[in-house]
């Protein structure tokens, strides 16, 4: 059985068994001893520990892998001036797809009207995190202490420091070549460690999803079924229609190999609900299965995991329309344009902030004078949707890496077309 199928099997079993455990824990006649065993020893104990250890192991790799891989990629650039061109292409594609994503979300949410008929509650409360001022956002991109940036996993600062080190090594002649070879050896070792963790994925995925569904279950769906269906529909449309069309248009490549080879990354992202923790798996797939050169993937993928939030933008678009409809507030065309602009720019402006989706949603609601308390309506199902939108985010990151790699002649089409490429590594 392939790794992808084992992960799918683990996900299915975890969702079914987790949901059944949630039902059992809700039964009044369940013996106290059995209830304690299920809740304390299994849900909060064994499986929660297993899932958190797996997630921590993935996060452990992120900073060293991003730093070493990016240094290797930049120091190998024959023309370092191409870095600016590559950065511009990446940012334009990321912002463009995010703007398109939220526009589609608003359009479908306005058409389906998932917020109509929702029974409003008068005691709703939600306290959003304070948005970071733009000056601080720009200032915090540049590290004053690179070791502190690594300890805190501040990815934008780690990326900037890695770029500077890579540029310096590339300009250091023979000494730079020796140091670059040393970083290349580290990169090989870290990718081997990544492969080791990938093979443990089915067990980690089972633990994570079992714990989630045993705690939350599916009972929170209720009146939010149409809201969830709207979000999921736009996510699927963006992932399996918009991305392939963009890829085909800009590269003339068939999107079928791309979609087939992205399944494993999408399953990882779905189970962990974090683009950052999925970086090791995304890098492995983009380089070894899609054929993108390290000098492109090592820059585009970590940056995308930090600032590219197409899935989050879709949630924000649908949620904004949903909350407006639930409160009976009509939004003008100017309001809709303001939502698109605010959410697109906020995807960069709130990079690295915990719970970034709800932070940016609060900012969007405030911009169009909608009650922030409305977020409490959807927060119960947000964790489930977060898994899906993270899968969309990593797919967008990989697509942009592929487009930029193709345009920079840093792409091996034979690897892309080979259905077995990279399989031996996982």
| pTM metric for this prediction | 0.86
Looking at residue 223, its pLDDT comes to 61
Q: Please give the torsion angle defined by the CA atoms of residues 91, 147, 144 and 177, in that order, rounded to the nearest 10 degrees.
A: -70
Span 220-247, pLDDT tens digits:
566 678 899 999 999 999 999 999 999 9
Q: What is the pLDDT of residue 398?
A: 97
Q: Give the DSSP per-residue string, 382-398.
A: HHHHHHHHHHHHHHHHH
Q: For residue 337, what is the enclosing H or E element?
A: helix 333-349
User: What is the spatial distance between Cα 253 and Cα 213, in angstroms, rounded to a whole number?
Assistant: 39
CA 249, 252, 256, 259 torsion-angle sign: negative
Read off the tokens for 401. Answer: 């890496």
Instruction: For residue 292, give the 3-state DSSP assignment.
Output: strand
Q: For the chain, give me the number of helices (H) and strands (E)?
A: 20, 0
Predicted pLDDT at 368: 85
Helices 310-326 & 82-112 angle (0-180, nearest 10): 30
Give the CA distances from residue 231 to residues 28, 209, 217, 310, 323, in Å, rounded to whole numbers and listed in that order.
35, 20, 19, 12, 13
Spell out, as residue ranges, where the chain has pLDDT lower than 70. 118-134, 137, 217-223, 347-356, 424-426
- Asked if 152 and 62 touch (Cβ cutoff 8 Å), the reply is no
Given 3-state DSSP classes, what are the helix, strand and coil percentages for the chain, each rounded to the nearest 5?
Answer: 75, 0, 20
The Cα–Cα gap between 373 and 383 comes to 18
What pLDDT is recorded for position 251?
95
The two tokens of residue 358 are: 């709800």
Residue 352 near residue 156, CB atoms below 8 Å: yes
3-state DSSP assignment of residue 411: strand
CA-to-CA distance for 283 and 400, rounded, in angstroms?
Answer: 13
CA distance 403 to 77: 18
Tokens of residue 216, six digits: 């939350």
| pLDDT of amino acid 218 | 66
Percent share of the chain, pLDDT over 90: 40
Instruction: Give the pLDDT score at 259.
Output: 96
Best CATH choice for the domain 3-425 from the list 1.10.3860.10, 3.30.70.20, 3.40.190.10, 3.40.50.150: 1.10.3860.10
């Amino acid at each position: 059985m392939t790794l992808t199928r084992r992960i799918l099997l683990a996900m299915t079993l975890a969702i079914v068994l987790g949901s059944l455990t949630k039902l059992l824990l809700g039964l009044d006649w369940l013996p106290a001893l059995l209830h304690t065993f299920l809740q304390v020893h299994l849900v909060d104990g064994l499986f929660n520990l297993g899932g958190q250890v797996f997630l921590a192991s993935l996060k452990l790799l992120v900073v060293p892998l991003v730093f070493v891989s990016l240094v290797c990629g930049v120091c190998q650039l024959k023309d370092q001036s191409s870095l600016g061109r590559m950065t511009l292409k990446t940012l334009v594609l990321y912002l463009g797809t995010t703007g398109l994503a939220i526009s589609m979300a608003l359009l479908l949410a306005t058409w389906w009207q998932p917020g109509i008929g929702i029974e409003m509650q008068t005691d709703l409360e939600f306290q959003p995190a304070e948005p970071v001022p733009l000056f601080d956002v720009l200032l915090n991109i540049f590290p004053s202490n690179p070791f502190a940036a690594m300890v805190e996993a501040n990815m934008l600062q780690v990326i900037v420091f890695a770029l500077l080190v890579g540029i310096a090594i590339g300009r250091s002649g023979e000494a730079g070549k020796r140091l670059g070879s040393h970083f290349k050896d580290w990169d090989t070792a870290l990718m081997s460690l990544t492969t080791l963790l990938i093979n443990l994925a089915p067990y980690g995925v089972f633990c994570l999803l079992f714990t989630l569904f045993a705690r939350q279950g599916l009972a929170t769906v209720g009146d939010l079924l149409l809201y969830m269906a709207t979000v999921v529909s736009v996510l699927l449309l963006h992932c399996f229609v918009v991305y392939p069309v963009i890829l085909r248009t800009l590269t003339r490549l068939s999107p079928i190999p791309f979609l087939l080879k992205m399944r494993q990354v999408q399953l990882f992202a779905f189970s962990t609900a974090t683009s950052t923790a999925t970086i090791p798996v995304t890098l492995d797939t983009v380089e070894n299965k899609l054929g993108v050169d390290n000098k492109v993937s090592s820059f585009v993928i970590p940056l995308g995991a930090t600032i590219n939030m197409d899935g989050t933008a879709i949630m924000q678009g649908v949620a904004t329309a949903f909350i407006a409809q639930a409160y009976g507030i009509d939004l003008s065309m100017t309001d809709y344009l303001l939502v698109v602009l605010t959410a697109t720019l906020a995807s960069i402006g709130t990079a690295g902030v915990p719970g970034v989706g709800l932070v940016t949603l609060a900012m969007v609601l405030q911009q169009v004078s909608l009650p922030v308390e409305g977020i409490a309506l959807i927060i119960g199902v947000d964790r489930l949707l977060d898994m899906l939108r993270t899968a969309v985010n990593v797919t967008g990151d990989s697509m942009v890496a592929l487009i930029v790699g193709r345009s920079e002649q840093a792409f091996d089409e034979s690897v892309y077309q080979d259905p077995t490429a990279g399989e031996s590594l996982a």
